[in-house]
Amino acid sequence: MASPEGAAAAKVKLRPRKKKKSKKESKTRSVYANILGEEDDNNPNRHYADNKIKTTKYTVLSFLPKNLFEQFHRFANVYFVFIALLNFVPVVNAFQPELALAPVVFILSVTAIKDLWEDYRRHRSDKEINHMDCLVYSRTERRYVEKFWKEVHVGDFIRLRCNEILPADVLLLSSSDPDRLCHIETATLDGETNLKQRQVVRSFFDLDCDFDPSKYNSVIECEKPNNDLNRFRGYIIHRSGRRDALYKDNLLLRGCTIRNTEEAVGIVIYAGHETKAMLNNNGPRYKRSKLERQMNVDVFWCVIILLVMCSFAAVGHGLWMFQYGDKRPVFDVLSPEGTDLSPVLSAIYLFLTMIIVFQVLIPISLFVSIEIVKICQVYFIHQDAELYDEESDSHLQCRALNITEDLGQMQYIFSDKTGTLTDNKMVFRRCTVAGVEYSHDANARRLAMYQEMDSEEEECPSRGGTLPRRDSVGSHHSVKVVLRSHSTKSHRRTGSRAEAKRASILSKHTAFSSPMEKDITPDPQLMDKVNECGSQMDFMRFHSQPMSQLPSDLGDIMDFFIALTLCNTVVVSSPDQPRHKVRMRFELKSPVKTIEDFIKRFTPSRLTSGSNSSSSSSLATNRSSTKGCSSTLSSPSAESVNADGGAEHPNAAATCQPSSANHIAVFLPVPFCRACFQGNSKGKRQKKIIYRTQNYLNQYAADGLRTLCIAKKVLSKEEYACWLQRHLEAETAIQGREELLFESALRLETNLQLLGATGIEDRLQDGVPETIDALRKAGLQIWVLTGDKQETAVNIAYACKLLDPEEEILTLNADSMEACSLLLEESLHYIQAKFLCGSAKAFHADFAPFHIYPSSPPPPPHWSSSHAAVHRLGLVIDGRTLAYALDRSLEDKFLAVARSCRSVLCCRSTPLQKSMVVKLVRNKLKVMTLAIGDGANDVSMIQVADVGVGISGQEGMQAVMASDFALPRFRNLQKLLLVHGHWCYSRLANMILYFFYKNAMFVALIFWYQFYCGFSGSAMIDQWYLIFFNLMFSAFPQLITGTLDKDVSAQTLQQLPQLYINGQNSEEYKPYMFWMNMIDAFYQSLVCFFIPYFAYADSDVDLFTWGTPVTTIAVFTILLHLGVETKTWTWMNWLSICFSVALFFTVALCYNASCPTCYSPSNPYWTMQRLLQDPTFYLLCLITPAAALLPRYFYRACQGTIFPSPVQVGRQLDRLPAKDPHGNILSLSGIQTGARPDPERKSSVAKDPRRPREESQRPDASLSVRIDLPAEGGVKYTKNSQERLSVG
Amino acid sequence: MVKEENESPNRPDNTAFTQQRLPAWQPMLSAGIVIPGFVLIGLAFIGIGVALLITSRNIQVLELDYTGTEQNSPCFQCSDPDQQDCVCTLQFSINSLFEGPVFFYYGLSNYFQNYRRYGVSRDDGQLYGDLSYFKEPYDQCEPYRFDRNKRPIVPCGSVANCIAVYTFRLFQIVNGQQKEVPLDGKGIAWWTDYNIKFRNPTVTPLRNAFNSTAKPLFWPRPAYELDPSDPANNGFINQDFLVWMRRAALPDFRKLYRRITEGDYANGLPAGNYSLEIAYNYPVLSFSGRKMVVFSNVSWMGGKNEFLGIAYLVIGTLCVVMSVVMLIVYAKFKFPEED
């Protein structure tokens, strides 16, 4: 269900009433039950917002003033209204005042209608939401009655049934679930479709009978409404005085859907606009694109030109007046009072008049046109079939409507790794237990089969091998081992592609992501061990022997699997429950049984979810302790599934209390850290295990696998009780709970016994290396910022061609600021020494066009700094070093190093560091940055970058929600940037330039005329044409061209990524181009003015009979100018131009025939009709546009031949027969390098200069600068915590 | 690995429009098209230019300046602003037949009829014969809206106020005798002006409509007495008035005064000596303007104007020259496309 609130994105306003609340309530909110019997006006909850939402901006009365007020925030609107109002002043007016208002009113009303419509939609959706039903406990009727959502108040008891949507933020007090759980789906909040568990408040946990609201008499103290979805703190005070802590796990958020739970009862804590969902509803973001910033500069120049022209005319008028002296000419008109106006005064009046007359120079329709064009561009990007991902049935979403052209100007890409470059489908590959590696070769083979599956459309044969074996395992156990995995089976692929697709779509709604993740072929060796283990246990159980007698290696395997099992979320549900989502059904009857199941369960768990899990919420511990942890190893039939939060929290600890021993085992999946284990490594065996496991871990990392260690710790009951006590304290703390929990986790995570480790593969997405290669050819710098381990990250970087094996790698690992500084210095020197000596010249010849500052002029030949060039170097830096490097004192050095490198890889970086890196590059290098990521840890980076791209992948929607564009796959970035970005940029840039030209050209006509009318502000162009010129006659073709024009075909753009450099260097719209266009505009207007001038000189032509041809010619010239600039002519271009011409003549004819006296002062009655009978008119219309456009056309024709821009070359390529485009490209680039004289242009399209020209130029030895300082315990923990913060 | 399947997307429509694959013509500026195109256009322009030039050359124009600033000018006496009702006579001769129909213009230079405040100072409602505007003229007419006695001025405004009322009489000197050339004053204004845009109030006699109004300050006679010889040529539909009210586009302008279409002169003005009697009543020296009369005949393209023909010739030649330049350019920088 789509979020109703989401659709009604609007500013949330808290009721002003709230402010009246007394001071003591300012920190927390107390919620009493409404049934306590307080009268309405005495109800303690009466100050809180009710559940009625109103997201509309306007009411019927306030619409007009409010909307106008908002619109006048835009400076341009104020300007145009000011000019229109100026027309009402008789001394300075130039047009009919009412007419002058027309365009402004038109623009304003278009916007107002749009706003009104949006607001109406919001109103309708509000109404719909407000009138949804829910069950509220009624005090008078002593039962639950149906009420509208809007009638729900804070303190009400609400009964929720399965699949109902929550009307407000509700504290869960009762659930029909035997475990006192309530499952909710939060898709409307964060897009995640996996179910989340919520718990009944602990004090109501043991309630046997149904919850009775009339007996409730506690008070809830909680924090004020805030927008943090992942936080809720408070406590509940019972009449007995007992306090119980409240967590976010007790809170059901508005907008979520109840799943898998028959019934739940809760009390409303926050309602209406104070709910977290509503507080999270921010309006769309407004970003201003680079092009628009540039445009604003030129708008400013237009204002200057306007003022200069007006001043010129004013001075001219003053002088003109002055020359007559006291003798007033007959045609001079005295002021209305009959007195003479002094030349100075009339000059001042004239200045204002001229501003009105020349107002067209600041194009009123420019902003509107740009918005229309951008919306159309967004539509086309949206519609692109190539940006559609069938697997996930998602396509590109443009969330920011006004920065499409920025896509064409990107210079730096900051990418997340997990889920962005990789699939984020965790596929189990191998594991090591107690120092023995189980390589799972069969599984690897099976995975390989999967990859071929789609092409071959054949069933994977290895599955045949897995099933019987699985059965054999099952039959081996005496306990009833039933794997009721029929939903798994239903997912199983039968080979057909359609079914695979369906399965993958289906899997979106279930716990698993793909069949690849679910089907595991166990390693035979491990299988044997497990079977042995099972039989041993059967034996022992039979003989009532304690578990501890298990051989140590088997024991380790046992513990290993128990840990994996416990530390993961298992949701149990059954298909016969009505309207439930189909879920994998899964019951764990025995720890041994879990051996196989864990693998299945284990793989999909998001071990590396980037969520900030430093709290390492030991909920599992918690729960197991409160439940008394009934799972024992000696009684395998008991339910042992009590692990929670494993999916969200990689560090979640699970404890298990063997009843037969006085010890509690704590199982922990932990990132490998020697310190955690060292204390316990007294035993030789354990040392060996640690040693071996570390070796394997390194090997896994080298293979690009993600690693996770499994460890256990045995605590005595006293130790456990002591720890639990402090942990509970930490949990109930309202202030600093996170830190306390973290400390609590640290206390536990010492002296662990290492059990083993797993290696999970996160495969690269399709086409990632190709995309990276293309983007790099396009001149984009790609930095990868990941929370992953350095080894893993480097491996993935190699796999996706980010790093080249032939490339040198600078690795920066430092433990202190000084070391980092030293390291950076060294690297800088190294770079300078390496790349400046000897081959300096060669390098600079090659790399000259690839400056870090693309806007800077090309360097002189004696350029001696290394800063400008990008070398064949890779930089790898880890999070800790990055933290030092990002320090204010070192950031410049860091940047100097980083920007000399071809690729930069930041490992172990926290979300904050990611955004800091982006910010640093963006602000210091003044480049356009794009951040792409898929997880919550990328959100800050996405928000900071100029363009944020979210991958709508596996990790929920936070990244997408924060992004400007959401892509299904990383691969789509190539087309988005290289094709759509390029198009959008070049279209808009050309359109804006054309706009400036068009208006300048039109206005200049009137300016020239001032020389012939005594600078009196008189216009030979009729006021109607003048005012509607922008709005009607020249509006459509440019919109069509701005939307549809393709300078180069999509195919060529993708084949020649180098063309993207065009946009990076802003080559379509450079500052000088504005002036070139202005000069051209003035030239053309001179032609359009003086050809009619001389043609009608010495004739009895009257003002408007002469002015109308000038207008007509100007319209023709302007339209044809667009024609010269249009690269592709579709029928829509033809149509729009014909339409514009037809519109002009129709309007002119109708206008000139409609009313003989209405249009004072011009009154152009029958002018156009008469002109159409005049041959001179036609002759003028032929010669003038030709003369006006000849230079531009000639320039374009010659430029295309003598010095074609890369884009023009690309366009030429489009026209080549498609038989061998690649060969053509090659031949073309060869020719270009030879033929073109300009070295700067040469290399931008031709060969990619960064590709090594000569192998011998590159140094053969690989460099690795590395400082590994000895680790200390404390530091390790920091590292550890960092891992928690930023894994993935 | 899952292969990409882009052929059958569910959501985006796979149409040429949405996928931006509309068939398009790309006007490539390449030698093959540009050079022949330029040559053709150039030749066509040259052709038109030649035709225009020939046409224009065939038009006869006779301009006579009578400002009278020069000592030897017959109107020198009259150019003194203090002189009232001065009449001067201009002698000229025509060497060959001045083919008819001959148009007789008067010209003024440096006269800014396009001056903005001058131009807006008129009341189209009044001129349309709407009596309500007779009482309350349009306020843009200020300061020519009411006279000193607060009587509304009809026609109000500056344009009407400073009408140049000329009286020219043209004589052919045949054997020493002055033979008056009949001047046709009908139909010199736009048909739409005469019939639609300007109307007299439907009051008979016309002068009653002008009761309690004042004539414009500069006018010797009220509007209803503009042409004593032809009662139908009075009020707002007086042809001279209509011509004057159509404001000239440029400060140097001419306006049609009469046509010579009648009697012996229907075929034009025969060669011989002529004298023009001018009632010199419009001082122009204050704005250093010049006055002239112009006799001209017209062709299909209007009056004599060589500019357009020359422009076509120049542009046409430029096109040809450019095509030659481009030919050289292409020969030098041969583009791989032509391989």
Band (pLDDT 50/70/90 cuts) for residue A206 is low
Q: How many helices (H) and strands (E) does chain A have?
A: 46, 30
Find, in chain A, the residue whose alpha carbon is nearest to that of B247.
Answer: A1102
Percent of chain A scoring above 90 in pLDDT: 14
pLDDT at B115 over 50: yes
pLDDT at A870 over 90: no
Given an 8 Å threshold on Cβ–Cβ distance, is A1094 in contact with B6?
A: no
Between A427 and B298, name the one with better pLDDT.
B298
Given an 8 Å threshold on Cβ–Cβ distance, is B12 in contact with A395?
A: yes
Q: Which of B5, B124, B254 sits opposite A1160 (nearest CB)?
A: B124
pLDDT at A5 over 50: no
Give the residue extent of every domain in chain B: 39-59+302-331, 66-96+111-252+272-287
Band (pLDDT 50/70/90 cuts) for residue A1152 is very high
- Give the pLDDT of residue A1031: 83
**Distance, CA of A454 to CA of A917 (rounded, Å):** 40
**Distance, CA of B141 to CA of A1013 (rounded, Å):** 19
- Give the pLDDT of residue A1112: 95
Given an 8 Å threshold on Cβ–Cβ distance, is A1190 in contact with B318?
A: yes
Q: Which of A1072, A1212, A1184, A1071 is nearest to A1119 (CA)?
A: A1184
What's B151's DSSP letter? Answer: P
Band (pLDDT 50/70/90 cuts) for residue A174 is confident
* A419 conformational bin, left if phi > 0, alpha if psi -120 to 50, beta if neither: left
Q: What three-state secondary structure class fits B133?
A: helix
The whole-chain average pLDDT of chain A stands at 72
**Distance, CA of A1060 to CA of A772 (rounded, Å):** 14
Given an 8 Å threshold on Cβ–Cβ distance, is A388 in contact with B6?
A: yes
Our CA-based measurement puts residue A332 at a distance from the nearest CA of chain B, in whole angstroms, of 6
- Give the pLDDT of residue A545: 66
- Give the pLDDT of residue B46: 96
Given an 8 Å threshold on Cβ–Cβ distance, is B140 in contact with A1161?
A: yes
Residues near A150 by Cβ (< 8 Å), separated by ≥ 6?
A50, A51, A52, A53, A130, A131
Catalytic residue chosen out of the listed positions A156, A169, A244, A416: A416
Please count the other Cβ atoms lying within 10 Å of the Cβ belonging to residue A595: 25
Given an 8 Å threshold on Cβ–Cβ distance, is A1100 in contact with B162?
A: no
Q: What is the pLDDT of residues A1237-1260, one digit of tens each?
A: 333 333 333 333 333 333 333 333
Mean pLDDT, range A642-666, rounded to an integer? 37
Between A46 and A1115, name the one with better pLDDT.
A1115
Given an 8 Å threshold on Cβ–Cβ distance, is A1215 in contact with B19?
A: no
Residues near A103 by Cβ (< 8 Å), separated by ≥ 6?
A80, A364, A365, A1027, A1028, A1030, A1031
- Give the pLDDT of residue A498: 41
Q: Which of A380, A1129, A1202 sits opposite B18 (nearest CB)?
A: A380
B253 CB neighbours in chain A (<8 A) are: 1100-1101
Find, in chain B, the residue whose alpha carbon is nearest to that of A980.
Answer: B20
A1018, A1117, A1174, best to mutate vs chain B, most B CBs in 10 Å? A1018
Mean pLDDT, range A914-941, rounded to an integer? 86
- Residue A185 β-bridge partners: A195, A257
Given an 8 Å threshold on Cβ–Cβ distance, is A1013 in contact with B19?
A: no
**Distance, CA of A391 to CA of A1024 (rounded, Å):** 56
Find, in chain B, the residue whose alpha carbon is nearest to that of A1227.
Answer: B336
Q: Which of B139, B196, B248 sits opposite A1103 (nearest CB)?
A: B248
Mean pLDDT, range A302-306, rounded to an integer? 92
pLDDT at A1288 over 70: no
Q: What is the pLDDT of residues B207-266, one digit of tens each?
A: 888 888 888 888 888 888 888 888 888 889 999 999 999 999 999 999 999 999 888 888
pLDDT at A1189 over 90: yes
What's A7's DSSP letter? Answer: H
A1105 CB neighbours in chain B (<8 A) are: 249
Q: Which of A761, A756, A831 is nearest to A795 (CA)?
A: A761
Pairing, β A903-906 against β A781-785: parallel
Query: Cβ(B106)–Cβ(B292) under 8 Å?
Result: yes
Q: Which of A1015, A1182, A1021, A995 is nearest to A1089 (CA)?
A: A1021
Given an 8 Å threshold on Cβ–Cβ distance, is B335 in contact with A1201?
A: yes
B35 CB neighbours in chain A (<8 A) are: none
Find, in chain A, the residue whose alpha carbon is nearest to that of B217.
Answer: A330
Given an 8 Å threshold on Cβ–Cβ distance, is A1103 in contact with B192?
A: no
Q: What is the pLDDT of residues A1027-1057, one digit of tens each?
A: 888 888 988 999 999 999 988 888 888 888 9
B250, B310, B326, best to mutate vs chain A, most A CBs in 10 Å? B250
pLDDT at A2 over 80: no
Q: What is the pLDDT of residues A1069-1089, one digit of tens each?
A: 999 999 999 999 999 999 999
B25 CB neighbours in chain A (<8 A) are: 1128-1130
Q: Which of A385, A1018, A1099 sits opposite B119 (nearest CB)?
A: A1018
Mean pLDDT, range A134-154, rounded to an integer? 84
- Give the pLDDT of residue A609: 29
Our CA-based measurement puts residue A441 at a distance from the nearest CA of chain B, in whole angstroms, of 18
The full DSSP string for A275-290 is SHHHHT-PPPP----H
Find, in chain A, the residue whose alpha carbon is nearest to that of B117.
Answer: A333
User: Would you report the helix, strand and coil content of chain B in percent, each value rounded to 5?
Assistant: 30, 20, 45
Q: What is the pLDDT of residues A966-977, one digit of tens each?
A: 888 888 899 999
Q: What is the pLDDT of residues B41-98, one digit of tens each?
A: 999 999 999 999 999 999 999 999 888 888 888 888 887 777 777 888 989 999 999 9
- Give the pLDDT of residue A1003: 93
**Distance, CA of B154 to CA of B208 (rounded, Å):** 13
Among A141-150, A1041-1050, A1118-1127, B91-100, the range scoring the smallest mean pLDDT is A141-150
Q: Which of A451, A1157, A1196 sits opposite B128 (nearest CB)?
A: A1157
Our CA-based measurement puts residue B279 at a distance from the nearest CA of chain A, in whole angstroms, of 18
* A191 conformational bin, left if phi > 0, alpha if psi -120 to 50, beta if neither: left
Given an 8 Å threshold on Cβ–Cβ distance, is B20 in contact with A1050?
A: yes
Q: What three-state secondary structure class fits A551?
A: coil
The whole-chain average pLDDT of chain B stands at 85
H/E stretch holding A824: helix A817-836
Query: Cβ(A643)–Cβ(A565) under 8 Å?
Result: yes
**Distance, CA of A254 to CA of A166 (rounded, Å):** 5
A1201, A1205, A1209, best to mutate vs chain B, most B CBs in 10 Å? A1201
Structure tokens at A441: 């070769």
User: How many residues can be counted in chain A?
Assistant: 1288
Band (pLDDT 50/70/90 cuts) for residue A189 is low
Query: Cβ(A1085)–Cβ(A1114) under 8 Å?
Result: yes
- One-letter amino acid at A79 equals Y
Please count the other Cβ atoms lying within 10 Å of the Cβ belonging to residue A332: 22
Given an 8 Å threshold on Cβ–Cβ distance, is A1156 in contact with B128?
A: yes
Query: Cβ(A568)–Cβ(A511) under 8 Å?
Result: no
Structure tokens at B111: 């006269």
- A1270 upstream amide cis, omega within 30 of 0: no
Query: Can you tell me the ipTM of this complex?
Result: 0.94
Q: Which of B121, B253, B302 sits opposite A333 (nearest CB)?
A: B121
pLDDT at A756 over 90: no
Among A870-879, A1042-1051, A1216-1225, B63-72, the range scoring the smallest mean pLDDT is A1216-1225
H/E stretch holding A826: helix A817-836
- Give the pLDDT of residue A583: 34
A398, A1008, A1157, best to mutate vs chain B, most B CBs in 10 Å? A1157
- Give the pLDDT of residue A667: 58
Find, in chain A, the residue whose alpha carbon is nearest to that of B26.
Answer: A1128
Mean pLDDT, range A48-75, rounded to an integer? 83
Query: Cβ(A1044)–Cβ(A1132) under 8 Å?
Result: yes
Given an 8 Å threshold on Cβ–Cβ distance, is B333 in contact with A383?
A: no
Percent of chain A scoring above 70 in pLDDT: 69
Rounded to the nearest 10°, the torsion over CA A1036, A1038, A1043, A1047 is: 150
Structure tokens at A1116: 């023709």
Q: What is the pLDDT of residues A1154-1180, one digit of tens each?
A: 888 887 777 889 999 999 999 999 999
- Give the pLDDT of residue A474: 33
Given an 8 Å threshold on Cβ–Cβ distance, is B1 in contact with A1212?
A: no
**Distance, CA of B199 to CA of B196 (rounded, Å):** 7
- Give the pLDDT of residue B5: 41
- Give the pLDDT of residue A637: 28
Mean pLDDT, range A1197-1225, rounded to an integer? 68
Q: Which of A964, A900, A957, A898 is nearest to A932 (CA)?
A: A964
**With 0-12 CB in 10 A as exposed, 13-18 as middle and 19+ as buried, what is A621?**
buried
Among A209-218, A765-774, A1109-1118, the range scoring the smallest mean pLDDT is A209-218
Q: What three-state secondary structure class fits B88?
A: strand
Q: What is the pLDDT of residues A451-477, one digit of tens each?
A: 554 434 333 333 333 333 333 333 333
* Cβ-based contacts under 8 A for chains A and B: 293
A1094 CB neighbours in chain B (<8 A) are: 305, 307-308, 311
Which residue carries 């680039």 as its tokens? A1229
Query: Cβ(A885)–Cβ(A824) under 8 Å?
Result: yes
A1174 CB neighbours in chain B (<8 A) are: 302
Band (pLDDT 50/70/90 cuts) for residue A336 is low
Given an 8 Å threshold on Cβ–Cβ distance, is B307 in contact with A327?
A: no
Residues near A1011 by Cβ (< 8 Å), separated by ≥ 6?
A316
Band (pLDDT 50/70/90 cuts) for residue A985 is very high
Q: Which of B24, B29, B140 sits opposite A1200 (nearest CB)?
A: B29
Q: What is the pLDDT of residues A1014-1023, one digit of tens each?
A: 898 889 999 8
Cα→Cα distances B293→A236, A879, B58, B86, Å = 106, 93, 20, 17
Q: Which of B133, B263, B292, B130 is nearest to B199 (CA)?
A: B130
- Give the pLDDT of residue A310: 94
Query: Cβ(A56)–Cβ(A119) under 8 Å?
Result: yes
**Distance, CA of A154 to CA of A243 (rounded, Å):** 21
The full DSSP string for A115-138 is HHHHHHHHHHHHHHHHT-EEEEEE
**Distance, CA of A514 to CA of A453 (rounded, Å):** 13
Q: What three-state secondary structure class fits A423?
A: strand
3-class SS string, A1002-1069? HHHHHHHHHCCCCCCCCCCCCHHHHHHHHHHHCHHHHHHHHHHCCCCCHHHHHHCHHHHHHHHCCCCC
Our CA-based measurement puts residue A288 at a distance from the nearest CA of chain B, in whole angstroms, of 26
- Give the pLDDT of residue A365: 80
Given an 8 Å threshold on Cβ–Cβ distance, is A1179 in contact with B48?
A: yes
A644 is catalytic: no
Q: Which of A1202, A1227, A1228 sits opposite B333 (nearest CB)?
A: A1202
pLDDT at A1182 over 70: yes
Given an 8 Å threshold on Cβ–Cβ distance, is A1102 in contact with B192?
A: no
Find, in chain A, the residue whose alpha carbon is nearest to that of B63.
Answer: A1098
Q: Which of A327, A1101, A1130 sits opposite B24 (nearest CB)?
A: A1130
- Give the pLDDT of residue A8: 38
Band (pLDDT 50/70/90 cuts) for residue A493 is very low
- Give the pLDDT of residue A716: 78
pLDDT at A863 over 50: no
